[in-house]
Amino acid sequence: MRESAAERHDRLLGLVRERGSARVSDLAAQLGVSPVTVRRDVEDLAGRGLLDRVHGSVSWPQDQGAVGAASRGAGGGPVLGMLAPSATYYFAEVIRGAHEAAARAGARLILRISDYRPEEDQARAEGLLAAGAEGLLVAPGWRRPGDPAAYSDWIASLPVPAVLLERQPVPGSRLDGIDRVCSDHRRGALLAVRHLVELGHGAPLLMARDDSPTALAVRAGYEEALGVLGLRAPRDVIDSVPAELHPDRFEAAVQALHAAVASGSATAALIHNDVDAIQVVQRLAELGVRVPRDLALIAYDDEVAALADTPLTAVAPPKREVGRHATELLVERLGRARGAGGEEPRRHVTLLPQLRVRASCGASTV
């Protein structure tokens, strides 16, 4: 994937901030681009007050307060930076909640997107700081189980207040000691499993992705829910993948679900996420399986679940509220940092998902 100018700017700013100053030729070699490109980038960044230029070199601005002041809105409120892995689907609502809370507080919110590349999160955050952010809302682009350990030290070392959102760090790590606001996805999975069991089904099977912290938390929550309810899974978790990216693997997952229904080993399922769930329902119909007649189904995320031909019952994490609470907490931290009050204990805020009952599970919605 070709690097955008904004991403290159973030890397350039990170290098200069780390070194204090650097020659344009050295930056070109480090960034893997031509000196002409770097000179053009430097001119742009210097014009915005993010870098100082001196005789073929660039340096970090001496007066960072001026950068922050230049970035403030008309109300003079704080500048908040937000690092998110995506600006669509799940995180669109998180960002919306943060933006609304920032506006109410008279703050300005600026955004960087990592596109689920955790190795580049630090550079994106450096770009936010260079743009004048006085505090950060951080949702790292972690995807795999080992990512929190591999890509977290820089967050705990940030020079400004930070709030982690929708991410669970390694217990006992340095990052575990900072403020965070998260949805309780394990609770969400329990809501879904319990609802299906109360409708008279045995243990539902799980079809889920494994490429995001939410997916991993849903998998863990499913196992915990079965333990709480004294149930055994009808079969191993079916690995889900995006149909448009891996059509063969998606078809294999649907066939596995179809076989479980045809054999009678499962009459209910939980599917993460609801985009996948809609496509699964469409394909199952082509194979002769009807929802909810033959299979009661609950989706996870509730982004577009209500728009399916048969509206899908779904677990809805409080996405917008996560953004709102995290922003309010960060604004409060910044306010206390400016005042004379003592530092309050750090907070881990956990918000509970809701189950939105629709037609796909076969329950009455009246």
Q: Render each residue's pLDDT in the chain as its tens digit; 366 residues.
A: 566 777 787 778 778 877 778 888 888 888 888 888 888 888 887 776 677 887 778 887 765 444 444 455 445 689 999 999 998 889 999 999 999 999 999 999 999 998 899 999 999 999 999 889 999 999 999 999 899 999 999 999 999 999 999 999 999 999 999 999 999 999 999 999 999 999 999 999 999 999 889 999 999 999 999 999 999 999 999 999 999 889 999 999 999 999 999 999 999 999 999 999 999 999 999 999 999 999 999 999 999 999 999 999 999 999 999 999 999 999 999 987 766 556 789 999 999 999 999 999 997 653
Look at residues 320, 313, 322, 324 and name the one whose alpha carbon lies nearest to residue 355.
Answer: 313
C-beta neighbour count of 351 within 10 angstroms? 17
In angstroms, the Cα distances linking 336 to 79, 164, 198, 240, 343 are 15, 18, 48, 45, 7
Q: Which residues of 157-194 are buried (b: 16+ CB within 10 A; e: fewer)?
A: eeebbbbbbbbbbeeeeebbebbbbbbbbbbbbbbbbe
H or E element in which residue 21 lies: strand 21-23
Q: Which residues pair with residue 268 across a beta bridge? A: 296
